[in-house]
Amino acid sequence: MLRGVPPIAVALAVLTAPSAVADPNQSDLQYMRTAAGDVRCVVSAEHVGCERTSAGGFPSAPKSQSGSGNQTIASVEKNGAFHWGDGTIGGGSPEVTLINGRTYNFKGWTVLPSVDGTRFTNPASGHGMFVAIDRVEPF
Work out how many domains the chain is built from and give that number.
1
**Structural domain contains residue 128:** yes
Low-confidence ranges of the chain (pLDDT < 70): 1-26
Q: What is the pLDDT of residue 102?
A: 98
Helix (H) or strand (E) holding 120: strand 117-121
Q: What is the pLDDT of residue 129?
A: 98
**Structural domain contains residue 95:** yes
**Structural domain contains residue 14:** no
Q: Check: pTM over 0.85? Answer yes or no.
A: no
Domain residue limits at 100? 19-138
Q: What is the pLDDT of residue 67?
A: 79
pLDDT digits (tens, 9 = 90+) for 8-17: 333 333 333 3
Q: What is the pLDDT of residue 21?
A: 57
40 contacts 50 by C-beta, under 8 angstroms: yes
**Structural domain contains residue 54:** yes
47 contacts 108 by C-beta, under 8 angstroms: no
